[in-house]
């Protein structure tokens, strides 16, 4: 069950949609929300000087106030009275600071903006979001700037027929139940792949032994261009969220990354991406 959510922001417009979704998830799960900002003071020869320490203390206070104002501006009065905790840290590495806090606070979900056109695109283009997805001890939800809140009627999970997928889908089901969403489990099969239909039947049987949810459906798509095939499927399914498992080797994502053209493509997808890290399941 999701008990703790960490939302990280740089105060930019790119992170507003992520804040709203993090707040909604907090209410749905009756969870504790941590709102976080990481800032950096440029290094000088007198880094450990008294003036530096005073400046750090002043910036910590200013940023905590700014965080509260940011929430009030974009959430209105709805944020007050909720279980929200504000965290401000000074560190040169935003990613490492978020990862450290996520571990210390036993966070179940990290939410942040995917600075760009799409969560799916940003995942492949490389960013702080990508680094968090690869290293986080928990699930990461990347929210595109253009995303608007909705009821998540349709969730899509991309599977590579691995045992770990079953645990990730079980986590996704927890979220789907809160929104009464349908989950479409899809596998993109290329002409080079052997017996994708048989693998799908085996996977369904394994999944039903571990996961109980009556709003799951399965699709096997044949397309040699995996990236294009996936984006067409997401569009046709009117997907509200795209979910996948981050694996270290032989991953669904690695199959995309092997193609250089992926990095040049601009996906039309404007939906959030939730990635379940195999180490955090």
Give, for all 281 residues of the chain, the pLDDT tens digit: 799 999 999 888 888 999 999 999 999 999 999 999 988 776 554 555 666 667 778 888 888 899 999 998 998 876 665 678 999 988 878 889 999 999 999 999 999 887 644 444 444 434 677 778 888 899 999 888 878 877 788 999 999 888 899 999 999 999 999 999 999 999 988 777 767 788 899 999 999 999 999 999 999 988 887 777 888 888 888 889 999 888 665 455 555 544 433 333 334 347 888 989 876 55
Instruction: Tell me what pLDDT residue 226 has.
Output: 78
pLDDT at residue number 262: 34
pLDDT digits (tens, 9 = 90+) for 3-46: 999 999 988 888 899 999 999 999 999 999 999 998 877 655 45
Question: In the chain, where are the structural domains located?
Answer: 1-148, 150-274
Task: Please check whether the two domains, 1-148 and 150-274, share a CATH topology.
Answer: yes
pLDDT at 255: 56
**So what's the architecture of 1-148 in CATH?**
3-Layer(aba) Sandwich (3.40)
Q: How high is the pLDDT of residue 273?
A: 87
The model's pLDDT over 130-140, given as tens digits with 9 standing for 90+, comes to 778 888 899 99
Q: What distance in Å separates the CA atoms of residue 148 and residue 107, rounded to the nearest whole number? A: 24
pTM: 0.85
Class in CATH terms, 150-274: alpha beta
């Amino acid at each position: 069950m999701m008990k703790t959510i960490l939302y990280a922001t740089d105060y930019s417009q790119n992170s507003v949609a992520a804040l709203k979704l993090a707040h909604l998830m907090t209410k749905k799960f009756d969870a504790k929300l941590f709102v976080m900002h990481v800032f950096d003071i440029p290094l000088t020869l007198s880094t450990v000087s008294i003036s530096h320490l005073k400046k750090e203390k002043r910036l910590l206070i200013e940023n905590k106030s700014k965080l509260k104002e940011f929430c009030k501006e974009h959430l209105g009065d709805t944020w007050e009275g909720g279980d929200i905790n504000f965290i401000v840290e000074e560190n040169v590495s935003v990613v490492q600071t978020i990862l450290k806090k996520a571990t210390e606070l036993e966070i179940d979900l990290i939410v942040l903006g995917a600075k760009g056109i799409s969560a799916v695109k940003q995942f492949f283009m490389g960013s702080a979001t990508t680094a968090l997805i690869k290293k986080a001890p928990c699930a990461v939800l990347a929210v595109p700037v253009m995303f608007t809140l909705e009821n998540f009627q349709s969730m899509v999970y991309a599977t590579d027929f691995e045992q770990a997928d079953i645990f990730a889908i079980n986590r996704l089901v927890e979220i789907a139940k809160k929104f009464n969403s349908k989950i479409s489990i899809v596998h993109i099969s290329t002409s080079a792949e052997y017996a994708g239909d048989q693998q799908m039947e085996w996977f369904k049987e394994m999944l039903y032994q571990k996961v109980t949810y009556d709003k799951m459906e399965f699709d096997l798509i044949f397309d040699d261009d995996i990236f294009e095939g996936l984006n067409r499927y997401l569009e046709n399914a009117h997907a509200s969220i795209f979910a996948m498992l981050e694996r270290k080797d032989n991953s669904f994502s690695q199959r995309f990354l092997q193609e250089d053209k992926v990095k040049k493509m601009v996906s039309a997808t404007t939906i959030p991406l939730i990635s379940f890290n195999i180490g955090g399941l």
